[in-house]
């Protein structure tokens, strides 16, 4: 299982990559594997406000539907429009082409609630 060392993680299996005050968000390799084939993704609109820990969208896979939770509060500054026509990108490239949203982070201290790659590894039972 792929758990890149340059990312931060949530216990809900999202990842976040910080570039200045922008956080890029997606779901982890573990999450896409558990969900199986992703067929639809519902994302918020650019300009929407999201709140840490609250649902910002849904991901629909053949096996199950799941909410997506925001790791940071802030404003949506970009969404990945490619996922509209190619949702399976989340399965094939969860950390790169399968990114979902970019949040302009309003409170950088929220970062403290995310977990490190090592902690996430423990969480999903990867030795």
Which residues are near other proteins by CB under 8 A?
Answer: 12-14, 27-28, 31, 34-37, 39-40, 42, 59-69, 88, 91
Give least dist CB 19 to other proteins, A: 22
The DSSP secondary structure of 65-121, one letter per residue, reads: EEEEE-SS-EEEEEE-THHHH-TTHHHH-TTTTT--EEEEES-GGGGGGSB-HHHHH
Residue among 21 and 54 whose Cβ is closer to other proteins = 54
Query: Which residues are within 8 A (CB) of 6 and not within 5 positions of it... i.e. 6 or more apart?
Result: 17
Give least dist CB 20 to other proteins, A: 25
Residue among 20 and 125 whose Cβ is closer to other proteins = 125
Q: Please list the residues that pair with 16 across neighbouring strands.
A: 8, 25
Residue among 63 and 82 whose Cβ is closer to other proteins = 63
């Amino acid at each position: 299982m792929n758990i890149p060392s340059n990312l931060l993680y949530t216990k809900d299996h999202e990842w976040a990559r910080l570039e200045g005050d922008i956080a890029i968000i997606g779901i982890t390799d573990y999450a896409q594997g558990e969900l199986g084939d992703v067929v639809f993704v519902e994302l918020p609109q650019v300009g929407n406000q999201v709140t840490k820990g609250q649902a910002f969208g849904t991901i629909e896979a053949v096996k199950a539907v799941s909410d997506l939770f925001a790791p940071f509060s802030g404003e949506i500054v970009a969404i990945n429009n490619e996922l509209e026509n190619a949702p399976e990108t989340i399965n094939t490239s969860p950390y790169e082409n399968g990114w979902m949203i970019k949040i302009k982070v309003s409170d950088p201290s929220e970062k403290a609630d995310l977990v490190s790659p090592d902690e996430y590894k423990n969480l999903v039972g990867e030795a």
